[in-house]
Amino acid sequence: MNAATGQSATPRAWGDEAQRWRRFYADRLPGQLRLAVDFVDGRPAAEVRPHFDSCLALLNAAGQRAELRPLWLALVDRLHPLPVRWGEWSLWLATLQQAADHAAALGRPA
């Protein structure tokens, strides 16, 4: 409902709004990855563990964006091998397989 006009939003308006939110989050993704890398770097595993799901969400969101591969790999590098120690090996194995592909695309060793 539009507060100014008292009318319901149209499907087009909802689509436009959804697109604005997607851009909003896409624009902030590099900064969020940097913050996650900095957060994980040097922290005790017990302090990082509660944020593992958020790190996975960031990795999933950035996984197909070629320009974010260096940051993506940095986060994986900082997290590894903690997820294995936490018993998250099946989720982490898929991430490591994707990391090998990203590293190869950048000409880096896996």
pLDDT digits (tens, 9 = 90+) for 22-76: 888 889 999 999 999 999 998 999 999 999 999 999 999 999 999 999 999 999 9
Contact 53, 95 (CB under 8 A): no
Measuring CA to CA, which residue among 84, 86, 78 is closest to residue 37? 78
Query: Considering the entire predicted model, what is its pTM?
Result: 0.82
| CA pair distance 68, 102, nearest whole angstrom | 10
| CA pair distance 83, 79, nearest whole angstrom | 7
| CA pair distance 24, 3, nearest whole angstrom | 23
